[in-house]
Amino acid sequence: MYQAKIKIFNRLYKAEGKTIIEALGNLKPNGLAKGMSVLTISKDGETTERILPSVKTARLFSPSHLVREVAIKNTSLLFN
């Protein structure tokens, strides 16, 4: 199981999934998701962190389904 954690404005959101894409898709931040963020993916004790700029963070949690899917796919490539 992959564990995804994202920290936006000192708020931490967590989700799990069988794949990186599923874990990213399960992240549901409340309210606005604008601003820089730190995304952490963990599996079997191995942890990888990436800093996401505000534009990428906003696209990752966009209300538009298409924009969100493309951003999740592109963000998952950062961890492969």
pLDDT digits (tens, 9 = 90+) for 36-76: 999 999 999 899 999 999 999 999 988 899 999 999 999 99
9 pLDDT higher than 90? no
Q: How many domains in the chain? A: 1
Taking Cα atoms as reference points, which of 77, 80, 75, 65 lies closest to residue 38?
Answer: 75
Domain of 21, in residue numbers: 2-79
pLDDT, position 10: 86
The residues, ordered by sequence, that sit 6+ positions from 35 with a Cβ below 8 Å of its Cβ are: 8, 9, 54, 57
